[in-house]
C-alpha cells in the first residue's frame, strides 16, 4: 500500500469538557483538574478511533503485543489498512485561536523559557530575552553544576522572572529571529481555557452502584469561544482519511469525552517559518511539545552550548492493549530552548525525538537564531 507522507492539518473541536490528568491516584475524597493534552493522548485517540472503524480485533492485537510484536507487525497480521495506522506521524497538539473577535489569531505556543519580564507591582514590566554570553562569567566551569559552555544572561539591573502563558505565531517569529516580542503577542491561559469543576459519585467495582458518602471532584478542560486544538499528521492514506471524514467524532482523554476532528490540506495558519542564520551567532531550537530525552535535559548524541529548560513533566498513561500502566518517564517541557554554535545538528531540524516517541508527537521544535548578549 502506498503511504502518503504529505502533512495534513487536523482541527479538533471539543463537544464537551475534556479531561486529561497525570498518573497520580484519583479516588474518593480527591480533586483532580484536567491539564492540557499530552501528544500521546491525541495519537492514542486517533489510532483507537481508526482501528475501531476498520474492524480491528483488539483482543487479538493485545495478545500479539503482549507476545512481543510491535504495533506495525501486530496490525499487519489483520489487514494492510490497519497496518497503515502504525505509520501515522503526529505533531502537536497545540491551541489555536480562530478569528472570533479576540486577538491574536492563529496557533499559540507555550512561552519559550528564555522570555523574561522585569518584576513590577503590576506585572507589566519590560520584556527581555535570555541570550548566551560571548565569554563565560568569572567562575563558570563546565561541570555538572554548569554543564554548558555558555551562560544565559539578561543585560538589565532589574530583577526578572520567567513569563508564563502562551505566545502567538507572530510573537514566536520574533523570538526565533532573536528579537523581543511585543507584549500584545502574549496570550494568557485564562483567555484560552477554563476549568469546569464537577462533583461525582464513586461507583463500587463489585456492586456497580454508588458508594455511600463517597464523592470526588473533577475539573474538566473547557476551551474559550473560538479556541480549538490543532495538530499535524503525516502518513494518512486516502482510506484512513475517508474514515475521519465519514466518522469525525472520536473519544479523547479521560471518560472518552467527545471531540470532532476535521482534516485540511492547508498548513497550520500562523506557524512561523525558520529564519536565516546568515547574520547570527548560532541556531536555537525551541520545543513546542514535550520531549523525553536520553540525558534528561538534552539528547544522547548532541549537547547544546547553552539551554533554558524548565522543570520536567511526567509522561505516563495506561497501555490498553497490554492492560498495564506505561512506565513513568520525565520529559523536557514545551518551551525549552537549546542553543548551538553555528547550525543545529541536521538530525534535529524538525524534531528532537525519534522512533515511537516522534510518531506520537513528542519533541516537535521550531528553529531560530541567537546573538550574543
Contact 290, 343 (CB under 8 A): no
Are residues 297 and 250 part of one domain?
no
Percent of the chain past pLDDT 70, that is, above it, reads: 91
68 within a domain of the structure (yes/no): yes
User: How many structural domains comprise the chain?
Assistant: 2
Question: What does the alpha-carbon distance between residue 354 and residue 340 come to, in Å, rounded to a whole number?
Answer: 20
Residues 28 and 65 reside in one and the same domain: yes
Confirm whether 214 is domain-assigned.
yes
User: Would 272 be classed as within a structural domain?
Assistant: no
The whole domain housing 320 covers: 282-370
DSSP 199-227: EEEEEPTTT-SEEEEEEEEEEEEEEPTTE
Instruction: Write down which residue in 264, 292, 308 finishes a domain.
Output: 264
For residues 59-67, average pLDDT: 90
pLDDT of residue 26: 54
| Mean pLDDT rounded to a whole number for the chain | 88
Residue pLDDT, tens place only, 164-213 = 999 999 999 999 999 999 999 999 999 999 988 877 666 767 777 766 66
Assigned domain for 170 exists: no
Cell numbers at residue 308, please? 533554558
Asked if residue 206 is part of any domain, the answer here is: yes
pLDDT at residue 50 greater than cutoff 70: yes
Q: What is the DSSP string of 303-349?
A: --SEEE----EEE--EETTTTEEPPPEEEBPTT-EEEEEBSPPGGGS
**Which residue, 90, 88, 87, 51, is CA-closest to 230?**
90
Q: Are 242 and 296 in the same domain?
A: no
Q: Does some domain include residue 256?
A: yes
Confidence bin at 27 (pLDDT 50/70/90): low
pLDDT at 4: 47
Contact (CB, 8 A) for 166 and 110: yes
Tell me the CATH number at 362: 2.60.40.4350
| DSSP annotation string for 16-84 | S-B----SS---TT-EEE--PPPHHHHHHHHHHHHHHHTT--HHHHHHHHHTT--HHHHHHTT-HHHHG
For the ranges 100-104, 211-215, 335-339, the maximum mean pLDDT occurs at: 335-339
Neighbours of 193 (CB within 10 A): 18
Q: Are 368 and 283 in contact (CB under 8 A)?
A: yes
The 10 Å CB-count burial string (b at 16+, else e) for 198-208 is eeeebeeeeee
Edge-to-edge strand list for the sheet holding 31-33: 31-33, 210-223, 193-203
Same domain, yes or no, for 84 and 195? Answer: yes
Stronger pLDDT, 60 or 324, i.e. the higher one: 60
Query: CA 39 to CA 220: how far, in whole Å?
Result: 18
Q: How confident is the model at residue 145 (pLDDT cuts 50, 70, 90)?
A: low
More confident residue, 349 or 307: 307
What CA–CA distance (Å, rounded) separates 71 from 77?
Answer: 10
Amino acid at each position: 500500500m502506498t503511504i502518503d507522507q504529505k502533512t495534513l492539518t487536523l482541527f479538533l473541536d471539543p463537544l464537551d469538557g475534556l479531561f486529561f490528568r497525570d498518573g497520580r491516584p484519583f479516588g474518593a475524597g480527591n480533586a483532580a483538574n484536567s491539564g492540557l493534552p499530552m501528544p500521546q493522548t491525541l495519537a492514542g485517540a486517533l489510532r483507537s478511533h481508526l482501528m475501531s472503524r476498520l474492524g480491528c480485533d483488539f483482543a487479538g492485537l493485545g495478545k500479539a503485543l503482549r507476545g512481543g510484536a510491535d504495533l506495525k507487525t501486530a496490525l499487519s497480521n489483520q489487514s494492510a489498512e490497519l497496518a497503515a495506522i502504525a505509520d501515522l506521524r503526529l505533531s502537536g497538539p497545540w491551541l489555536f485561536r480562530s478569528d472570533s473577535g479576540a486577538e491574536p489569531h492563529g496557533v499559540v505556543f507555550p512561552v519559550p523559557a528564555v522570555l523574561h519580564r522585569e518584576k513590577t507591582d503590576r506585572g507589566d514590566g519590560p520584556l527581555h530575552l535570555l541570550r548566551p554570553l560571548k565569554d563565560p562569567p568569572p567562575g563558570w566551569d563546565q561541570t555538572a553544576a554548569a554543564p554548558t559552555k555558555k551562560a544565559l544572561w539578561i543585560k538589565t539591573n532589574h530583577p526578572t522572572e520567567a513569563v508564563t502563558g502562551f505566545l502567538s505565531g507572530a510573537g514566536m517569529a520574533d523570538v526565533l529571529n532573536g528579537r523581543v516580542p511585543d507584549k500584545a503577542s502574549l496570550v494568557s491561559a485564562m483567555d484560552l481555557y477554563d476549568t469546569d469543576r464537577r462533583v461525582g459519585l464513586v461507583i463500587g467495582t463489585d456492586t456497580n452502584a454508588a458508594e455511600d458518602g463517597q464523592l470526588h471532584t473533577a475539573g474538566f478542560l473547557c476551551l474559550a469561544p473560538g479556541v480549538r486544538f490543532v495538530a499535524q499528521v503525516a502518513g494518512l492514506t486516502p482510506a484512513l482519511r475517508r474514515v475521519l471524514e465519514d466518522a469525525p467524532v472520536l473519544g479523547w482523554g479521560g471518560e472518552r469525552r467527545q471531540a470532532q476532528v476535521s482534516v485540511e490540506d492547508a498548513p497550520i495558519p500562523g506557524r512561523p517559518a525558520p529564519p536565516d542564520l546568515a547574520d547570527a551567532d548560532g541556531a536555537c531550537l525551541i520545543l513546542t511539545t514535550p520531549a523525553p530525552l536520553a540525558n534528561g535535559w538534552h539528547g544522547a548524541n548532541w549537547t547544546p552550548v547553552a539551554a533554558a529548560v524548565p522543570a520536567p513533566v511526567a509522561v505516563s498513561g495506561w497501555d490498553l492493549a497490554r492492560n498495564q500502566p506505561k512506565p513513568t518517564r520525565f520529559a523536557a517541557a514545551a518551551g525549552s530552548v537549546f542553543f548551538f554554535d553555528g547550525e543545529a545538528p541536521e538530525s534535529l531540524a524538525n524534531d528532537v525525538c525519534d522512533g515511537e516517541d516522534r510518531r506520537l508527537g513528542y519533541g516537535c521544535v521550531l528553529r531560530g537564531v541567537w546573538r550574543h548578549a
